[in-house]
């Protein structure tokens, strides 16, 4: 690796052209509107896949567009030295809808470079951060590496998906059908972010999810609350009482066996998180000040490595304008469980149902509707690739990389583990204020430039 490459900025117009298919920002051309959830943009999604396959072919990849039951995948392969590792890079080319369009300061599909503050240039547009800009950091890293060395340091495969923002309906069937082709030593995933603008991060924990809807039924019709009140069971009372029992006074979930499979975070990792401190303005920015949840855990632990039980919505009785004095015949709640470690999402579902059934009156019933279940992903904090990537990121950014978790989920990481038998290295360069999924989405040019160089350093580290 030639260190002088890392010191040279990459032309912003160069990457803007590649990410948005805009040779000149003043040309009036617009980028590819790869909005996967809207059938009206199906042709644009295919166009985006074809553009990416062409861009990869330009730098020596064997690239193809693969049809699916939904939007196409892009699969590409590049040879590496004999005996070198094989990595699979994943990203998605589809984007979220742009609504509400009136809140954008400029055309969401006409890339615009602006200066947010002195020296801080960003490019605005849908997909700049999630995930077009992110995936292009890796594509341009491969391009630059080959221009410098003539070859890549390892065997590289690439999978670009076109449905991540609309449910990934084609992903699992595609992985099943192409498992042998896509299997590698390690997956590289870029759909994550930085701890802050100057601190890179590596994600090692992703929470799983179990979704449940419970309906408590009592009388066979809504009842007059004056005539039946105090005698007839009120499903709202029954339901809220049960939901209120799900947590104790210290914030722990009381459902039996809920914590089966939950592991303690290593002390040295917790010390690192304590050094990071709580996210700036985490609660204050939303008008709160007192952390909820398990009292003996830090905010970062609660976000990243502790499970949760949350009520997401309750319905029952009369909720229209004015007032209606009824005891409803039924009441419902939607409940979600964020899972960590080795928690079994199906066991959590069954234990919750048992918890409810044991608490309803004999003349009431409970009905349940499931809303998906997926396990958590917990990678080893001490995996060799984590150490190598951490050193590479520190060399680029000048600060140790934060080893973190994520409160949400990235299902593809679980699929790589369960279907292809490989772990993932999750490194991204998005920032908290990138406004992904929102109007005026942006991506810092510094994140892009240093992201490209970071991937170059990581490839070298993994193959050293």
Handedness of CA 406, 409, 413, 418 (dihedral sign): positive
Mention every residue, 6+ apart, whose C-beta is less than 8 A from residue 275.
Answer: none
Examine the domain organization and report whether 387 and 454 are in the same domain: yes
Mention every residue, 6+ apart, whose C-beta is less than 8 A from residue 231.
Answer: none
Residue 246 lies in a domain: yes
Among 374, 392, 407, the domain boundary falls at 374
Helix, strand or coil, per DSSP, at residue 402: strand
Q: Can you name the residues that pair with 424 across neighbouring β-strands?
A: 187
Examine the domain organization and report whether 173 and 138 are in the same domain: yes
Ordered alpha helix ranges (H), 167-224: 171-177, 179-182
Phi, psi dihedral angles at 190 (to 5 degrees):
-105, 0
Examine the domain organization and report whether 191 and 95 are in the same domain: yes
Residue 293 lies in a domain: no
Ordered alpha helix ranges (H), 383-439: 384-397, 411-420
CATH of the domain at 361: 3.30.70.360
**How far lies 10's CA from each of 19, 100, 163, 440, 451, in Å?**
14, 33, 30, 24, 11
Among 374, 397, 428, the domain boundary falls at 374
How many other C-beta atoms lie within 10 A of the C-beta of residue 125? 29
How many other C-beta atoms lie within 10 A of the C-beta of residue 66? 15
Residue 407's pLDDT is what?
A: 84
Examine the domain organization and report whether 80 and 104 are in the same domain: yes
Phi, psi dihedral angles at 225 (to 5 degrees):
-70, -20
- Tokens representing 180 are 């042998």
Examine the domain organization and report whether 216 and 363 are in the same domain: yes
CA 16, CA 22: separation in Å to the nearest integer? 7
Examine the domain organization and report whether 389 and 408 are in the same domain: yes
CA 212, CA 351: separation in Å to the nearest integer? 12
Residue 18's pLDDT is what?
A: 46
CATH of the domain at 441: 3.40.630.10
Examine the domain organization and report whether 115 and 223 are in the same domain: no
Residue 6's pLDDT is what?
A: 39
Residue identified by tokens 């861009």 is 55
User: For each of the chain's 464 residues, which pLDDT tens digit applies?
Assistant: 334 333 433 333 334 444 434 333 343 444 899 999 999 999 999 999 999 999 999 999 999 999 999 999 999 999 999 999 999 999 999 999 999 999 999 999 988 889 999 999 999 999 999 999 999 999 999 999 999 999 999 999 999 999 999 989 999 999 999 999 999 999 999 999 999 999 999 999 999 999 999 999 999 999 999 999 999 999 999 999 999 999 999 999 999 999 999 999 999 999 999 999 888 888 998 899 999 999 999 999 999 999 999 999 999 999 999 999 999 999 999 999 999 999 999 999 999 999 999 999 999 999 999 998 888 988 889 899 999 999 999 999 999 999 999 888 788 998 999 899 999 999 999 999 999 999 999 999 999 999 999 999 999 999 98
Residue 405's pLDDT is what?
A: 92
Residue 411's pLDDT is what?
A: 82
Examine the domain organization and report whether 75 and 182 are in the same domain: yes
Residue 276 lies in a domain: no
Examine the domain organization and report whether 59 and 47 are in the same domain: yes
Give the range of the structural domain holding residue 335, as residue numbers without chain letter.
208-262+307-374
Residue 109 lies in a domain: yes
Examine the domain organization and report whether 137 and 235 are in the same domain: no
**How far lies 134's CA from each of 37, 237, 304, 415, 452, in Å?**
20, 48, 22, 21, 9
Q: How many domains does the chain have?
A: 2
Among 336, 354, 374, the domain boundary falls at 374
Region label for 251, one of left (φ > 0), alpha (ψ between -120 and 50) or beta (otherwise): left
Residue 294 lies in a domain: no
Examine the domain organization and report whether 359 and 235 are in the same domain: yes
CA 430, CA 131: separation in Å to the nearest integer? 9
Examine the domain organization and report whether 229 and 194 are in the same domain: no
Residue 281's pLDDT is what?
A: 83
Residue 77's pLDDT is what?
A: 98
Residue 386 lies in a domain: yes
CA 445, CA 443: separation in Å to the nearest integer? 6
CA 136, CA 130: separation in Å to the nearest integer? 11
Residue 287 lies in a domain: no
* Contact criterion met (CB below 8 Å) for 340 and 208: yes
Long-range contacts of 264-267 (CB under 8 A, 24+ apart): 265/301, 265/305, 266/381
Residue 296 lies in a domain: no
């Amino acid at each position: 690796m030639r260190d002088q490459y890392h010191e040279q900025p990459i032309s912003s117009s160069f990457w803007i052209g590649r990410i948005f298919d805009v040779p000149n920002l003043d040309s009036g051309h617009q980028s590819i509107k790869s909005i996967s959830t809207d059938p009206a943009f199906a042709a644009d999604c295919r166009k985006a896949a074809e553009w990416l396959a062409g861009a990869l072919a330009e730098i020596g990849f064997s690239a193809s567009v693969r049809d699916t039951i939904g939007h196409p995948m892009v699969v590409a392969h590049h040879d590496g030295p004999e005996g070198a590792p094989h990595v699979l890079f994943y990203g998605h080319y589809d984007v979220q809808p742009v609504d509400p369009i009136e809140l954008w300061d400029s055309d969401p599909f006409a890339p615009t470079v602006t200066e947010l503050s002195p020296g801080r240039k960003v490019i605005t547009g849908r997909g700049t951060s999630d995930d077009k800009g992110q995936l292009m950091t890796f594509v341009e890293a491969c391009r630059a590496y080959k221009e410098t060395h003539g070859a890549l340091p390892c065997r590289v495969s690439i999978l670009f998906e076109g449905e991540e923002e609309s449910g990934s309906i084609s992903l699992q069937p595609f992985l099943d059908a192409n498992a042998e082709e896509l299997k590698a030593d390690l997956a590289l995933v870029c759909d994550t972010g930085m701890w802050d603008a100057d601190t890179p991060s590596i994600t090692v924990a992703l929470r799983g999810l179990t979704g449940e809807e419970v309906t408590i039924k009592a009388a066979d019709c809504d009842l007059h609350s004056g005539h039946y009140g105090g005698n007839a069971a009120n499903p709202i009372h029954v339901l809220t009482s049960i939901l209120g029992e799900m947590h104790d006074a210290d914030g722990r979930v009381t459902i039996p066996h809920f914590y089966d499979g939950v592991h303690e975070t290593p002390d040295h990792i917790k010390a690192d998180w304590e050094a990071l401190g709580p996210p700036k303005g985490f609660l204050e920015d939303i008008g709160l000040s007192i952390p909820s949840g398990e009292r003996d855990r830090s905010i970062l632990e609660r976000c990243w490595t502790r499970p949760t039980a949350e009520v997401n919505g309750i319905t029952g009785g009369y909720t229209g304008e004015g007032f209606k004095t009824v005891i409803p015949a039924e009441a419902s709640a939607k409940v979600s469980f964020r899972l960590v470690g080795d928690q079994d999402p199906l066991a959590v579902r069954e234990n919750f149902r048992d918890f409810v059934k044991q608490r309803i009156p004999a003349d009431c019933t409970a009905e349940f509707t499931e809303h998906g279940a997926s396990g958590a992903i917990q990678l080893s904090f001490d995996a060799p690739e984590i150490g190598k990537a951490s050193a590479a990121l520190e060399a680029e950014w000048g600060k140790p990389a934060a080893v973190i978790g994520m409160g949400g989920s990235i299902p593809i990481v679980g699929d790589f583990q369960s279907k292809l038998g490989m772990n993932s290295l999750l490194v991204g360069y998005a920032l908290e204020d990138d406004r992904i999924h929102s109007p005026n989405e942006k991506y810092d040019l510094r994140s892009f430039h240093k992201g490209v160089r970071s991937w170059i350093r990581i490839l070298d580290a993994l193959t050293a």
